[in-house]
């Protein structure tokens, strides 16, 4: 079975020959630059391996094709480029600024960046704020310039499943531009502002996505975007509020990909079990990351409840096991997640989030090796 067919079979919730493995296929399932360097050195790919960022903000890489083949990884990412107008760029103080006017402060060497300011911070929320904003051009040629060559190269170099990474969704974008707490409060106190933003952002997103899929629809196997909707304890907002305010926009975003017959992988951190029926209803095919340390995210229960209708993607704990466990504990974690999630198909194995700077190389290798060992159908 080709790597691509393995992933596509898992997406159809049928059993492939073995559980497919993702490392570096999405913006939330790849690897921090420092751990990546150590991994490349460890495997003999040179002392100073070349680095291509998948996301500068998270200091995470698009792993080298040689590494992915050595580890027999089944997924690859293609990513949208920086826009020509207002590209993401580093400021003199080391922070980043992007086309949305969001400031990203660096948490320190080896760490990611976190949003600390944006165009809607401290403003009076209302539809006028959305209208007055200078919206970026969804069709800015910079986004699409390298898409086709990225995808073609991957098609020639491998038979892996190619994922078009579309970036963050509407929930994150309003939080980046407005601040997390204010954007959450606005859901209650300024719903007209939120609605205006959702409508305008969805329009942007759909036009960008359709343009990208016209460019590479024949070369990519699925699309991915991320909108975190969970905390450790439960959904970040009332599921009823999600259904009323956000879900219609998510449905519109999913439809943009479905028009091109592409399966959709949603990344949504935390305890989102209560929202999975909604994800299924709007056509989400697979859910990353299955954050197993959050409440109600037990893998056996999730599989039993939703395994017929959605594919689970991720599942290997990044809170404790990967950074602080032993390789033996990593193996046990992999064995357990495969036992829970793999039966009948419908599981792509990977880390719950990007593998961070403190994760030992031995644990990354243990994850991949154990996936091969325990993943046979």
Partner 1 sequence: MDLEALKEAVAAGDVKGCSLLTEVALEAGHSPQKILNEALVPAMQIVGDKFRCNEVYVPEVLVAARAMKKSLALLKPLLTKTGVKPVGTAVIGTVKGDLHDIGKNLVCMMLEGAGFEVADVGADVAPAKFVQAVKDTGAQILGISTLLTTTMLGMKDVLRALEQANLRGKVKVMVGGAPVTQAFADELGADAYGESAAVAVDKAKELLRIA
Binding site for partner 1 (CB under 8 A): 105, 107-108, 110-111, 114, 116, 180-181, 184-185, 187-189, 231-238, 241, 293, 318-320, 323-324, 356-358
CB of 104 to partner 1, least distance (A): 10
User: How far is residue 158's CA from residue 3's CA, in Å, rounded to a whole number?
Assistant: 8
CB of 223 to partner 1, least distance (A): 27
Which residue's entry shows tokens 């890489």? 61
Cβ proximity to partner 1, 242 vs 347, nearer residue? 242
DSSP H or E stretch at residue 10: helix 3-11
Q: Which residues contact 75 (CB under 8 A, 6 or more apart)?
A: 3, 7, 20, 21, 22, 23, 24, 25, 26, 160, 161, 162, 163, 348
Query: Which tokens go with 119?
Result: 């165009």
**Least distance to partner 1, CB of residue 186, Å:** 8
The span from the CA of 96 to the CA of 116, in Å, is: 10
For the bound state, the minimum distance from the C-beta of residue 121 to partner 1, rounded and expressed in Å, comes to: 14
In this complex, which beta carbon is closest to partner 1, that of residue 184 or of residue 199? Answer: 184
Rg (CA), the chain: 20
**Residue 43 or 241 having the CB closest to partner 1:** 241
CB of 225 to partner 1, least distance (A): 22
- CB-wise, 236 or 371, nearer to partner 1? 236
Q: Which is nearer to partner 1, 152 or 293 (CB)?
A: 293
Nearest to 169 by CA among 86, 249, 255: 249
87 DSSP 8-state letter: -
Q: How far is the CB of 337 from partner 1 (least distance, A)?
A: 18
Taking the complex as a whole, how short is the minimal distance between the CB of residue 285 and partner 1, in angstroms? 27
Q: Which is nearer to partner 1, 2 or 233 (CB)?
A: 233
Q: How far is the CB of 180 from partner 1 (least distance, A)?
A: 5
Give the C-alpha separation, 104 to 91, whole Å: 10
201, 135 in Cβ contact below 8 A? no
Alpha carbon separation from 228 to 94, 162, 170, 224, 288 (Å, rounded): 26, 23, 10, 13, 10
Buried b (16+ CB within 10 A) or exposed e, 144-182: beebeebbeebbeebebbbbbbbbbbbbbbbbbbbbeeb
Residue 260 CB, nearest distance to partner 1 (Å)?
A: 34
Measured from the CB atom, the residue of 100 and 113 that comes closer to partner 1 is 113
Question: What are 60's strand-pairing partners?
Answer: 32, 55
Q: List the one residue out of 340, 214, 235 whose CA is nearest residue 278.
A: 235
| Nearest of 2, 40, 38, 34 to residue 20 by alpha carbon | 2
Contact between 303 and 341 under an 8 Å Cβ cutoff? The reply is yes
């Amino acid at each position: 079975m080709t790597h691509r067919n393995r992933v596509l079979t898992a997406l159809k919730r049928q059993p492939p020959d073995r559980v497919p493995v993702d490392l570096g296929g999405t913006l939330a399932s790849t690897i921090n630059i420092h751990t990546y360097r150590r991994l490349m050195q460890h495997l003999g790919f040179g002392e100073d391996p070349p680095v291509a960022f998948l996301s500068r903000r998270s200091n995470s890489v698009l792993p080298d094709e040689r590494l992915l083949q050595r580890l027999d990884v089944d997924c690859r990412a293609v990513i949208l480029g920086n826009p020509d107008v207002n590209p993401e760029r580093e400021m003199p103080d080391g922070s980043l600024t992007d086309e949305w006017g969001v400031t990203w402060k660096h948490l320190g060497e080896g760490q990611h960046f976190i949003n600390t300011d944006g165009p809607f911070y401290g403003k009076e929320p209302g539809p006028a704020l959305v209208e007055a904003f200078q919206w970026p051009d969804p069709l800015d040629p910079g986004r699409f310039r390298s898409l086709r060559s990225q995808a073609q190269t991957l098609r020639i170099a491998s038979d892996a499943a190619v994922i078009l990474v579309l970036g963050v969704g509407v929930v994150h974008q309003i939080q980046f531009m407005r601040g997390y707490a204010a954007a959450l409060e606005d859901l209650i106190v300024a719903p007209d502002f939120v609605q205006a933003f959702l409508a305008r952002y969805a329009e942007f997103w759909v036009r960008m996505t359709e343009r990208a899929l016209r460019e590479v629809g024949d070369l990519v196997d699925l699309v991915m975007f991320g909108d975190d909707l969970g905390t450790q304890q439960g959904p970040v907002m009332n599921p009823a509020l999600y259904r009323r305010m956000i879900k219609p926009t998510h449905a519109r975003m999913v439809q943009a990909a479905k028009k091109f017959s592409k399966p959709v992988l949603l990344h949504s951190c935390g305890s989102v079990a209560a929202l999975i029926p909604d994800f299924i209803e709007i056509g989400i095919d697979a859910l990353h990351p299955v954050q197993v340390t959050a409440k109600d995210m037990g893998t056996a229960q999730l599989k039993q409840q939703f395994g017929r209708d959605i594919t689970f993607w991720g599942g290997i704990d990044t809170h404790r096991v990967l950074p602080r466990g032993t390789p033996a504990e990593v193996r046990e974690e992999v064995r357990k997640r495969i036992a829970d999630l793999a039966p009948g198909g419908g599981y792509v194995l990977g880390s719950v989030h990007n593998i961070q700077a403190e994760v030992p190389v031995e644990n990354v290798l243990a994850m991949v090796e154990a996936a091969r060992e325990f993943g046979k159908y």
